[in-house]
Structure 1
């Protein structure tokens, strides 16, 4: 949730309007549904989208939409209470790392048989994985975003860099050229990379063929000490060591301090970030708007993009909804190309459409569009929360390895054991 919550809270281009709680008659009992309740989250869709969506749904179905904006702060507890009641909302938005937990509790409706009407043939693989538990689908993807490399075009030009790198080796070369061109600035960092940027670590692990954990017979086992995963850690260290003489702290993540604030200083050539982070940087420093662009995280394989973590939201129908048939019609309308294009125009990767042409109209949107098809998610299990929300073993391993407190073998072995324990 952390990565997605930050995106949703900060996405200036994606301001939400959400249907709230309302009462309605029970469509399953043969009486007519008069109203459905829809909860979406603050920052998820522009009012122009939700106003049009709700108006079209009400006109086509004769059913009123009661709509309220929900805040991310405290939403876990609010959803838990609402889903346990006999009168929950009829449509809800969930962070994609929340979905498995609620599905496991039996509070979400199984929509496997209905996925076709939600344009399931267009779902990105990573987004589908995030709402699938034990082979069943408990919602539909809403929208997503992923990290790209945000860079200063003027600094690239001054260093003689004519195009963004398309492989990890080229990326290292770009870092070295930026450092050389700015050697007189002791505070310059070609790439701002804090030591605990574990979402970026996932890209490197996956790019090397590794993973955090795998499941066998219902049991999850940490896999951070495999040769492939170790290669991902080594790639992270190579980039970290190359990034600058004055490197970012090894024991903090991208939020401490907020990396967009570091990027604003003018002493940074690149950062690995989300669209909202660039939006925040240019809001505070408007002069950066015409000096920034983005490219996909490069793969070790030339010409390919590295896999990326898809942070985003899913839409689900509570198992106790009294208006499931109407709720399904609402999701079907939202999954249509018209509204998916509107999501893309707002700067998000659309959840139920592979057409990202409306997104790829600027360098940052194009980088998102180019890399999102290669997106993945963390293990889809309610047990994952114990890894991410606790003493995150990936962060601990990165800090220990980068600082020299532990060898690569020891750091990854300890982290792998911690993952197994947390998910066991």
Structure 2
């Protein structure tokens, strides 16, 4: 599942050659029936990204689909992340696009906002198991009140920690509040602080996905809907409280992580794998990367949900992942809907859970529950959220991210809390405010 480290890094902005005015929102088929067509024929072309679904799943899915619809042939094509933006843009602007596409859930609004690009699937949600969609995933596929993306899969961050170090430091249970988390950091420093290389928590300065949890937990957000646009809210007291707690974690842990880089520079899993770090905020499969350096870490490592300021609760988490969509000019939209219907069924969604991700259209988390780290992620996902569904969000993640700049400026002392948030708010408004 390594594609997540790339996916979560952000999505490039999308500009379609056939675009009309933003906000018109694709083709309106909200009133269409979700009932299966009496007869399907032709070819249904499916584009899924490399690493998104196990081959065993897609092989079985395609075989079952063709058996159920003898007149239809599945043309299944795996796409690479590198260059996918331009390839999708070209395909969607042409006359023969694929019929089913996978797009990052932070990208969906960019496509949905363009006239005649994606099919409105609002009237088909029930056939796609819509009653079981997580709210955070459903929000990522919604634009201007209509559904254009069907949740495919997602993942969220958790606190990955050394069980053996916690035990040696006298920490008998995983922290279940911010206060307990800070207390655990203090105990770890007392026990292992004589080692100059030790870090109770590896906390890079620009892990803004973790910052989202703290902002949301304090009742804030990074932006709020303002009609069809968004208005930045990083300068609110609630957002400031989230940023302030981030700084408290950095200062209390005395982390040696750079304040001007994110968790990928250097790869925090590699740092954790060196054996001098007790905790990191990351994705479950980062443990496998760490274990390449020290295989014993697999047995020594556990996880707990990112704590909340409210004891006994966990903080909201960012749900990053992918949605499934149907191009508005698909030549076989009826078959495409039937394909997504089968893929979104519990039978295949449970296989995604077994592969280590949160399934998009099912609450069956049996596969994840069997994994110590995956089970924590699965439970926390119920409190998941999405970034603002702005068509311009790609500009935030692919460019000079003002949230990252804000973190670095505040953590290094170059700006006060008020100045850092005010400047970031202004910069974010320029990107998504209109």
Q: TM above 0.5, one fold? A: yes
1:307-327: CA deviation from partner (whole Å, max 9, x where unpaired): 100010000111111111111
Given candidates 197, 204, 222, the residue that maps to 1:212 is 222
Offset at 1:287? 1.9
Distance 1:258 1:392, change over 3 A: same
Q: Distance in 1 between matches of 2:420 and 2:8?
A: 33
Partner of 2:126: 116
Correspondence 1:133 to 2:143: yes
Offset at 1:124? 0.3
* Greater shift in the superposed pair: 406-415 or 149-158: 149-158
1:256-294: CA deviation from partner (whole Å, max 9, x where unpaired): 111111111101000000123222112343221111111
Paired residues of 2:40 and 2:334 also in contact (CA < 8 A): no
Offset at 1:4? 4.4
Q: Distance in 1 between matches of 2:322 and 2:360?
A: 9
Q: Distance in 2 between matches of 1:285 and 1:332?
A: 42
Equivalent residues in 2 for 1:156-175, closer than 5 Å: 156-175=166-185
Partner of 2:61: 53
Equivalent residues in 2 for 1:13-92, closer than 5 Å: 33-62=41-70, 63-92=72-101
Partner of 1:302: 311
Partner of 2:12: none
SS, match of residue 161 in structure 2: strand
Correspondence 1:243 to 2:253: yes
Equivalent residues in 2 for 1:246-285, closer than 5 Å: 246-285=255-294
Q: Distance in 1 between matches of 2:40 and 2:336?
A: 13
Offset at 1:155? 1.0
Paired residues of 1:35 and 1:66 also in contact (CA < 8 A): yes
Given candidates 346, 362, 367, the residue that maps to 1:358 is 367
* Greater shift in the superposed pair: 274-283 or 330-339: 274-283
1:396-424: CA deviation from partner (whole Å, max 9, x where unpaired): 11111111101101100111111111113
Q: Distance in 2 between matches of 1:32 and 1:167?
A: 54
* Greater shift in the superposed pair: 182-191 or 271-280: 271-280
| TM-score, normalisation: structure 1 | 0.92
1:316-345: CA deviation from partner (whole Å, max 9, x where unpaired): 111111111111111111111111111101
SS, match of residue 292 in structure 2: helix
Given candidates 368, 373, 376, the residue that maps to 1:367 is 376
SS, match of residue 416 in structure 1: helix
Distance 1:241 1:8, change over 3 A: closer
Paired residues of 1:8 and 1:42 also in contact (CA < 8 A): no
Given candidates 234, 254, 261, the residue that maps to 1:224 is 234
Paired residues of 1:191 and 1:243 also in contact (CA < 8 A): yes
1:356-400: CA deviation from partner (whole Å, max 9, x where unpaired): 232111211111111001101110011222222221111111111
Offset at 1:8? 8.2
Partner of 1:153: 163
Partner of 1:203: 213
Give the total of aligned pairs.
Answer: 402
Answer 1 or 2: which has greater helix percent.
1
Q: Distance in 1 between matches of 2:400 and 2:3?
A: 16
Partner of 1:23: none
Partner of 1:404: 413
1:207-244: CA deviation from partner (whole Å, max 9, x where unpaired): 00111111223342211110000000111011111113
Gaps of 5+ in 2: 10-37
Gaps of 5+ in 1: 10-29
Given candidates 297, 317, 320, the residue that maps to 2:329 is 320
1:13-63: CA deviation from partner (whole Å, max 9, x where unpaired): xxxxxxxxxxxxxxxxx9952321111111111111111111111111112
